[in-house]
């Protein structure tokens, strides 16, 4: 069953704003929530970065919607045993409506303790071991783990949900999609790429859920909407492995000047046209993605939620 969810951006909004958006999303008819997990925003203009686990605790008190982290890196900045602890508590708080979305991370967030930034292959090996360890801990037994990357001694998580926390794996290339298919309970990606969805399914993903996130900039004035989207999120137009290797928000800000507004407009619907908003999400559904999560970039939350409730979501039923 297709789900249209709302994407809570911890890079752009503070805790109170995120909680307000979650309540509005539920009232407007969105089916679920995605929430990003960052130590830094991508650039200083975005300007926020609350600790996701604190926000999730607050979300559990104000919404009945399912919540997925999109995505948590459980390998470098935070040890997977601690992520296992946090995810188990989140699942209890949300009465089982929690999915742990994980990925191999970005230097932007993971370099902050001075750790070396590994190659893609090593990061994926670390991720696989981290997921194995999280699943062991979620059984609720005392475990000791002596792995290639992680050591755990006589650890037990006492506050566990009734059912294991599903772990969805992010991947933005064929290698990542195949890893997700092999070890994930689901798959997370950012673009409507049917080839990656198929790679996930062929590698063992089968009929498991596929989630994706996207952004729009709703405003009554399309030019204003595009200016805001370009100022805040032009980093998404940077090529190659830029997003994985740059260490500081100011590095992204400097390179963002090379991204023209037209590039942003190609992937972000800007303005009030409901048909264009719906068409953007249909690209994802047509690529075989089961759940699409949309973030409103612009400041007019009243206009966005009203328009999506009345004019956009009904087109996507």
Q: Just list the catalytic residues.
A: 38, 106
Q: How far apart are CA 88 and CA 65, in angstroms?
A: 17
How many C-beta neighbours within 10 Å does residue 61 have? 9
- Distance of alpha carbon 49 from alpha carbon 243, whole angstroms: 17
Place of tokens 């940077």: 238
* CA–CA gap between residue 69 and residue 36 (Å, rounded): 6
Judge contact between 16 and 58, C-beta under 8 A.
no
Quick one: CA torsion of 171, 120, 68, 271, rounded to 10 degrees? -60
Q: Token pair of 247, please?
A: 């260490």
CA distance 135 to 145: 12
């Amino acid at each position: 069953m297709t789900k249209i969810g709302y994407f809570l951006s911890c890079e752009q909004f503070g805790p109170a704003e995120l909680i307000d958006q979650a309540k509005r999303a539920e009232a407007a008819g969105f089916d679920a929530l995605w929430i990003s997990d960052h130590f830094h925003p991508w650039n200083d203009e975005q300007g926020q970065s609350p600790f996701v686990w604190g926000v999730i605790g607050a979300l559990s008190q104000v919404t009945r919607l399912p919540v997925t982290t999109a995505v948590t890196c459980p390998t470098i900045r935070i040890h997977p045993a601690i992520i296992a602890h946090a995810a188990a508590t989140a699942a209890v708080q949300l009465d089982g409506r929690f999915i742990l979305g994980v990925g191999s991370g970005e230097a932007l967030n993971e370099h902050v303790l001075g750790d070396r930034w590994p190659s893609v292959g090593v990061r994926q090996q670390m991720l696989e071991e981290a997921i194995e360890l999280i699943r062991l801990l979620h059984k609720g037994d005392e475990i000791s783990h002596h792995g290639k990357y992680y050591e755990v001694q006589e650890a037990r998580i006492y506050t566990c949900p009734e059912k294991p926390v599903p772990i969805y794996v992010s991947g933005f290339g064929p290698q990542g999609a195949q890893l997700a298919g092999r070890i994930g309970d689901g798959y997370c990606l950012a673009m409507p790429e049917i080839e990656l969805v198929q790679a996930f399914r062929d590698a063992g993903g089968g009929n498991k859920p596929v989630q994706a996130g996207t952004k729009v900039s709703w405003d009554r004035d399309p030019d204003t909407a595009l200016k805001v989207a370009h100022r805040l999120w032009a980093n998404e137009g940077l090529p190659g492995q830029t997003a994985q290797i740059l260490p500081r928000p100011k590095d992204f800000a400097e390179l963002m000047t090379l991204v023209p507004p037209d590039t942003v407009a190609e992937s972000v619907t800007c303005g009030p046209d409901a048909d264009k908003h719906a068409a953007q999400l249909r690209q994802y559904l047509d690529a075989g993605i089961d759940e699409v999560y949309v973030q409103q970039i612009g400041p007019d939350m009243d206009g966005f939620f009203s328009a999506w409730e009345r004019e956009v979501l009904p087109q996507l039923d």
